[in-house]
Amino acid sequence: MAVQRKICLLGDFAVGKTSLVRRFVYDLFDDNYISTIGVKVSRKTVAVPRDGNIVELTMMLWDLASSEAFDRMRSTYLRGAAGAVLVCDLTRPETLDVLRARAADLRDANPDARLVVAANKCDLAEQQRLTPAQVEAAAAELDIPYYITSAKTGGEVEALFRRLGRMLVS
């Protein structure tokens, strides 16, 4: 069986949305800040187990260039999204507030959406301003599974997207 699902990357600017997609889809990372224009859709097909069978899930990963683009395109962007990766940056606590706001936006657009949290940039150990406990508390309050990720090293990136994949076919 083969299915296709729209997944939105959501979160404040520069938290690592584009880098997480790039790591997951191409296994690459770039330290240069590349601000994409408009919206980019990347595609990756993964084999996901369901009830003893394998589902071929094509993840259509929607990634917006900027916060301005989100404000402008919000309803188009969120429409039809089956899931989302909500990203915050462990070095910037305020990005957790933006994450909460985006979770509410997506749940407004689709109450059935499957969500995962990526608390990103865990490789920047000295600059951490959000503790794992704070991330855990926020995720628990939202009732969303969370992963402490690094798009730079690849840490937990595969696990994050695979978890979302399983949630999307269950």
Tokens standing for 6?
């729209």
Residue 124: name its binding partner from Mg ion, ligand GDP, none (Cβ under 5 to 8 Å by kind): ligand GDP
CA 37, distance to chain mean position in Å, is 18
**Residue 151, interface with ligand GDP (CB under 6 A)?**
yes
SS3 152: coil
Segment near Mg ion (CB under 5 A); pick from 12-20, 82-90, 101-109, 132-140: 12-20
Closest CA to 85 of 133, 2, 152, 23: 23
- Strand residue runs (E) in 53-137: 53-64, 83-89, 114-120
Establish if 82 lies at the interface with ligand GDP (CB under 6 A): no
Q: What share of the chain is helix, strand, coil (3-state, %, to 5)?
A: 40, 30, 30
**18-43 residues labelled b (16+ CB within 10 A) or e (exposed):** bbbbbbbeeeebeeeeeeeeebeebe
Q: How far is the CB of 101 from ligand GDP (least distance, A)?
A: 15
Is residue 143 a contact residue for ligand GDP (CB under 6 A)?
Answer: no
Closer residue to Mg ion in complex, CB, 17/114: 17
Given a contact cutoff of 8 angstroms between Cβ atoms, the answer to whether 90 and 119 are in contact is yes
121 makes contact with ligand GDP (CB under 6 A)? yes
Cα separation, 37 vs 18, whole angstroms:
12
Candidates 10, 12, 16, 18; binder of Mg ion (CB under 5 A) is 18
Give the residue closest to Mg ion by C-beta.
Answer: 18
Return the residue of 5, 6, 17, 114 that touches ligand GDP, per CB under 6 A. 17
Tell the smallest beta-carbon distance from residue 1 to ligand GDP (Å). 32
**Stretch of residues binding ligand GDP (CB under 6 A), selected from 68-76, 120-128, 129-137, 160-168:** 120-128
Instruction: Summarize as ranges the residues that interact with ligand GDP (CB under 6 A).
Output: 11, 13-19, 30-31, 33-34, 120-121, 123-124, 150-152
